[in-house]
Structures are given as structure tokens and as C-alpha cells.
Amino acid sequence: MLSKKTQYAFHALTYLAENKDKGPVLISEISQERQISLKFLENILLELKKAGVLGSKKGKGGGYYLIKPPEEVKLAKVIRMLDGPIALLPCVSLNYYEKCENCQEEICGLNHVMAEVRDNTLKVLENKTLADVLRSSAS
Amino acid sequence: MLSKKTQYAFHALTYLAENKDKGPVLISEISQERQISLKFLENILLELKKAGVLGSKKGKGGGYYLIKPPEEVKLAKVIRMLDGPIALLPCVSLNYYEKCENCQEEICGLNHVMAEVRDNTLKVLENKTLADVLRSSAS
DNA sequence: CTAAAAGTCTACTAAAATGGTAGGGAATAT
DNA sequence: ATATTCCCTACCATTTTAGTAGACTTTTAG
């Protein structure tokens, strides 16, 4: 399951996407509109900024804004930034590979199946973007 | 990611599948062969028994054994038993559905995508079984 | 009947992850 | 100069994860 952090990130990002013409948006506005704890959201937006998804501006008239158009923000990237690996086993993770302790990969049958799961998952998450997730797109 | 518990469960189940002709297998044997903490493994096997996947026999000559042929043990079921939901959001989980707090499902674009991810994942995990994961099948 | 073998059960614990909070600091606009 | 707004470090409570301890029950063999 996605952590609250990642779920909140998606809420915030879609809010920013829906309001991208209004210039920088206050953390507090997103927090209110999407019912997310202000201080927690601060951390999340900061992470998204450091990861290169958001830009920010300080002082009056400041706030956060999307740095790229929604069509270019892949869902997979957002998940990886905040939750880490998407794969179900470390030994089949593309971005966070780690060797499994208890099995030799050559003869372990599980990793083949889990690699297949990973590919099927990424088929969606690498091709869908923020634009596919906007509220307005549902209407 | 799958928890250690579930990973160990798969190790144990494949071991039992590979040795299913030998009758009941000792916990201690599985523990040694697959390098899993004995006491932790005890808990796991007990859960698997309660969930109807394994049978057991006490006393000398006892141990655990598969109750169904490996071809009938779906990977999805094992994961759900030990780790819970497979979906990435509670509101698109088939077996552990919960309403999302922060979004109205009708207008939230995220759950459509996540339902698609879920379906793609289950396409694999509901159709692959223990038999697809045996070590011997790799040779 | 008894002893050994094996799974069963309850409870406990340490460490890590999760979700969230506090408060001051730095940059910027007016 | 000052109000505004994001930035940063640190902290905290709760839950989950991974594992351990030890007593108890069932079964088999002799």
C-alpha cells in the first residue's frame, strides 16, 4: 500500500496541477483544501521540491508550483521518491536493487514471477502521469 | 515490498512442495535448509495452517505438509494471508476495501489508475501458483 | 505408563517505519 | 523594517515488523 505521505503528495500535486495558472500556491491553501496536516505537508512538498518536481517562491505572493507540465510527471517517479521501491522483492527492484539474503537468484523461482508483477505494474505507473489523475479529467 | 514473513512463507512452501512425497517435514528442517529463524518460522507455519494451506501432525514422525497440490496454491492468496491487501490504495482493494478519507471516490482520478495497477498485478498473482515457483522448475 | 518428539499458544521485546509536531531560521516583497 | 512564506532540524507517539521465550498439548514408541 502507498503510505499516507505518498497519497498526500498526489493530492497536493493534483491540486497544484489544477491551479497551475494561478501562480505559486500556499502550503496552507493546499492543506486546507485537501485536508492534510499543514506541518506534514510542508515536509512532503519540500521533498518533492528537492526531487525536482516542484519549484517554490518565498515571501509574499510565494508558494509552490509545478516545474513541469502535468503530462510529464510520471506516477512511478512520485511513488519512488517518497515510498521507495515499487517492486515486491528487493532483488527485482530496478531502482532500489538489493540482493536477497535467503535465496540464490539463479535458482529461486520467485523472482521471475515478481519481475513479471513489477513489469505489469510499471506498464501503468510509468505511462500514466499527473494529467491522468486530475479531478477535472473525471468529468 | 513483501514483508520478510511473506518471503519466508514462500521459501517454506516451496520447500514443502519440493519434498511433498516425504510426508510431514519438521519445522527445524525447513528452518535449517532455508535459513529462517526457527521460532519465527513456527508462527508463520501456524498461520498458514490456520488459513487452510498447510496441515500438520504432532509427535514423532510429525511435521507440516501441503494440504493441496502446489498447482492449487495461488500466490495472491499467500500474500493476502500474511501481508494483507495487494492493492496500492485501500479504496481499490478487493479483499480489504476501506474508504479513503481525503478523497471522494467519484471525482478522484487516482483510484482509476490504481485499480488498473491492481488488475495488472492480480493478472499475475492470481494465475501463478506455488508450482510456478519451485526451484526445480528453473532447471 | 512414561518419556521423547513435535507442533501450539501466549506473551514479550527491540528496532524500525509511519505519521505527525514544534519552533526557529532564511529569503523575499512591499 | 517588517510581514510573509518557505526551509530546516529535531523531536515525539504509535504501529508494524521481526524475532524470542517458555510453558503446554498431542502423539508415538517402547
- The string of pLDDT tens digits covering residues B15-70 is 999 999 999 999 999 999 999 999 999 999 999 999 999 999 999 999 999 999 99
Task: Write the class of the CATH domain A4-66.
Answer: mainly alpha
Residue B5 CA from chain centroid, whole number = 9
Nearest to B75 among A106, A113, A139 (CB): A113
Tell me the pLDDT band of B135, cut-offs 50, 70 and 90. Answer: low
pLDDT of residue A139: 47
Straight-line distance from the first to the last Cα atom of chain B, in angstroms, rounded to the nearest whole number: 27
Question: How far apart are the C-alpha atoms of A4 and A34, rounded to whole Å?
Answer: 13
Tell me the pLDDT band of A103, cut-offs 50, 70 and 90. Answer: confident
Question: How far apart are the C-alpha atoms of B55 and B26, rounded to whole Å?
Answer: 12
Pairing relationship of beta strands A54-57 and B54-57 according to DSSP bridges: unpaired
Mean pLDDT, chain B, rounded, equals 94
In this predicted structure, the answer to whether residue B131 has a pLDDT above a threshold of 70 is: yes
Domain with CATH 1.10.10.10 in chain A: 4-66
* Mean pLDDT confidence for A12-35: 96
Which residues bind near strand D, taking a CB cut-off of 7 Å?
A 24-28, 42-43, 45-46, 49-50, 56-64; B 3-5, 8, 37-40, 42-43, 57-62, 83
How many CB pairs below 8 A link A and B?
100
As given in the structure block, the three cell numbers for residue A130 are 499527473
Question: How far apart are the C-alpha atoms of A24 and B115, rounded to whole Å?
Answer: 32
> Closest CA to D28 C1' — which residue?
B60
